[in-house]
Structure 1
Amino acid sequence: MRWLGENRLQVNLHEYPPREISGARLVFVPVTPQRAGWVSWEERERYAVVYPCSGVLADGSDPRAVPAALGPLLGDARARVLALLDSPMSTTQLCAVTGQGLGSVGRHLRVLLDAGLVRRGRAGRSVLYTRTAAGEVLVRAG
């Protein structure tokens, strides 16, 4: 996907005719794992540009970095998920921040839920996860 200038966006290399979307609703949807982008539309009212995420949205200076002792105990990827949950996050947000796939994040959350280290709750349509008191103790002890 690339910006062509003059209000033009090329989504892929297919030879589809250009579409005029002035006044339509346009939504950008990042997805994991890495796959080619595509476009979806519903008549002339709604369009979605679906594109693969690239990179990790958090740099190495994150104050919620994984404590050194926690990685060997839980595994680095699972410990990273637990460390990030100091505020409520959805699985989609965790995927974006960690760079892990949806299945991996889901498995980590299941293990952390079963261990009583995180809890989940609904906020509208979203399911949000956050650390429990036991999860706090583990992250702070590290």
Structure 2
Amino acid sequence: GGITLAPSAFAARCVLLPGRDGVPPCLVYPARAVGTLWECRDGSGDGLARLLGRSRARLLSGTSTPSTTTGLALLTGLTPGAVSQHLAVLRGAGLVTGHRYRREVYYRASELGLALMEGGG
């Protein structure tokens, strides 16, 4: 018969709903990465995407708080290798800075990067 998988932004734990009358059971589980689901986004990032490219603009906006390459890859859907390459370009342009903490490097938008995101620079 199979099983239906259903991610939910409202589930705190996994729940198995029994199937009946030929309908397979359903496993409802907590969805990952829903922290930004209800963020309001305005259209002001379009100019930044045209300037830097969509991927680099998304990465730059993801560094408004310190983030690792892996975290940014999960946030943007890019591969960690692609994220690393884009971050190297953004870092070379002075838009992000990297700070090592133990075995990870945390990237954060520089003052210039923040000003560019705000449209004031």
Q: TM-score, normalised by structure 2?
A: 0.64
Partner of 1:128: 106
1:29-48 alignment, distance < 5 Å: none
Q: Which amino acid aligns with 2:46?
A: A
Count residues with an aligned counterpart. Answer: 89
Query: Which residue number in structure 1 is paired with residue 73 of structure 2?
Result: 95
**Could you list the runs of 4 or more consecutive aligned residues of structure 1 that deviate by over 3 angstroms after TM superposition?**
56-66
Change (3 A) 1:80 1:61: farther
1:57 has 2:18 as partner: no
Structure 1 unpaired stretches of 5+: 3-55
> What is aligned with 1:137?
115
The residue type equivalent to 2:51 in the other structure is L
- How far has the Cα of 1:102 moved from its partner? 1.1
Q: Residues 64 and 84 of structure 1 are in contact (CA less than 8 Å); yes or no, is this contact kept in structure 2?
A: no
Residues in 1 aligned to 2:85 and 2:41: alpha-carbon distance in whole angstroms: 21
- Alpha-carbon contact 1:119-1:130 (below 8 Å) kept: yes
Give 1:100's aligned amino acid.
L
- CA deviation after TM superposition for structure 1 residue 61, in Å: 4.6
Identity, % of aligned positions: 36
Task: Report deviation, 1:62.
Answer: 3.7
Can you give the 5+ residue segments of structure 2 that lack an aligned partner in the other structure? 4-31
Higher helix share: 2
Quickly say closer, same or farther: Cα 1:97–1:72, change in 2 above 3 A.
same
**Structure 2 partner of 1:68:** 46
Q: Which amino acid aligns with 1:101?
A: T
The TM-score normalised by the length of structure 1 is 0.55
Which AA in structure 2 matches 1:119?
T
Determine if contact 1:116/1:135 at 8 Å carries over to the other structure: yes
2:99 alignment partner AA: G
CA contact (8 A) 1:121 1:129 kept: yes
Note the aligned Cα RMSD (angstroms).
Answer: 2.6
Q: Which residue of 2 aligns with 1:113?
A: 91
